[in-house]
Amino acid sequence: MSAAVLDALQATLAEEHAALYTYGVLGARTSQSATPALYDALTAAYRRHRSRRDQLRTLVEEADGTPVAAAVAYALTGQPTSSIRVQATALALEVASVETLTALVARSSGSVREWALTEAIWSATWQLELGGTPRTWPGAPELD
């Protein structure tokens, strides 16, 4: 695996650390009883991103790299204190994830590209569970 692919994997892993932290905060601010659909959507996304982080760690190690570590904390965009803002923050996170993963698609090949593509499609499709709408160019906004 080339150094360019390893760099891309590490960059994607760093983004996943931030995503997991953010989902943890969003989940803690969401009431399962008051907003069960949102709670379920956040929980499913958290699990998917946790699995994604673990897979990225494995891929980095397989490329003879040392997986980049998570930061202690990450800054959240805005103040997701209401369910509407929580949902919007999660949606923005998935939009950004598609951009990160399509960039990994561009820099990789074979099984890594296939995995990145599958995850990009998942994040794009999950946006609909978070109030998003279909786009023409998810992950490549400069083409819009």
For residue 111, the minimal CB distance to another protein (Å) is 10
**Is residue 44 part of the contact set for another protein (CB under 8 A)?**
no
- Of the candidates 131, 20, 135, which has an alpha carbon nearest to the alpha carbon of residue 83? 131
SS3 state at 109: coil
**Is residue 114 part of the contact set for another protein (CB under 8 A)?**
yes
**Is residue 11 part of the contact set for another protein (CB under 8 A)?**
yes
Report the distance separating Cα 87 and Cα 13, nearest Å: 23
**Is residue 4 part of the contact set for another protein (CB under 8 A)?**
yes
Report the distance separating Cα 62 and Cα 112, nearest Å: 11
Tally the C-alpha atoms within 13 A of residue 63's C-alpha that lie toward its C-beta.
23
If the CB atoms of residues 28 and 134 are measured against another protein, the closer one turns out to be 134
**Phi and psi for 19 in degrees, rounded to 5?**
-65, -45
**Is residue 17 part of the contact set for another protein (CB under 8 A)?**
no
Contact 85, 100 (CB under 8 A): no
Q: Which of 1, 6, 70, 121 binds another protein (CB under 8 A)?
A: 121
For residue 39, the minimal CB distance to another protein (Å) is 19
If the CB atoms of residues 76 and 96 are measured against another protein, the closer one turns out to be 96
Q: Which stretch binds another protein (CB under 8 A): 23-31, 48-56, 70-78, 125-133?
A: 125-133
Residue written as tokens 């190690």? 61
Contact 106, 9 (CB under 8 A): no
Residues of the shown chain interacting with another protein in the complex, contacts defined by CB under 8 A: 4, 8, 11-12, 15, 98-107, 113-114, 116-117, 120-121, 123-125, 127-128, 132-140, 142-144
